[in-house]
Amino acid sequence: MTPKQWRDKVGQYVEQRRKELGYSANKAAALTDDAVSPSLWRQVERGERHVDGKVAAPNPAPRRRAAMCKALGWTPDSIDRLLAGQEPQIQPDTSQVPPVSAPAAQTDSTTETLSRLVERLYSEVSTLRSELAALQIEVAELRDVAARHHPDTQ
């Protein structure tokens, strides 16, 4: 993926959402609990990083992409969704799970437990989606490399 393609597919959306939330790049990076540096955040928005004197598209690890998504209030797989040509998704607010019909004390406990379980499931599914999307990108890149080096095998 070229830096321009990254910028068009991901960077502009990340930058737009960050600005909607009123964050600077430094503030947004700080919300990732040190998973993403301000420098990496800016690289993702610009769509370019410098490697051995060459410009390349950034490709943060799945955990870093998920941390960026969390800081933006998106589901952890939203950057991968953008890479796949889909829209990012806002993280559902699991604190608003409706109560179940039960005695008050039991309802609070049950609601809290269900909320934690739902949040964990969202997180685990999103992480798996991120990892799958990263693998799909790597496979596509490997196919491109193979096609360039061995055009007769297509």
* Residue 43 CB contacts under 8 Å (≥ 6 apart), including other chains: 49, 58
Predicted local distance difference test score (pLDDT) of residue 97: 47
Cα–Cα dist 3/118, whole Å: 36
Instruction: State which residues form the domain around 118.
Output: 3-153
The predicted-structure confidence for 89-142, as pLDDT tens digits, reads as follows 988 875 554 554 545 555 567 777 777 777 777 777 777 777 777 777 777 777
Q: How many domains does the chain have?
A: 1
Predicted local distance difference test score (pLDDT) of residue 7: 87
Name the pTM for this structure: 0.61
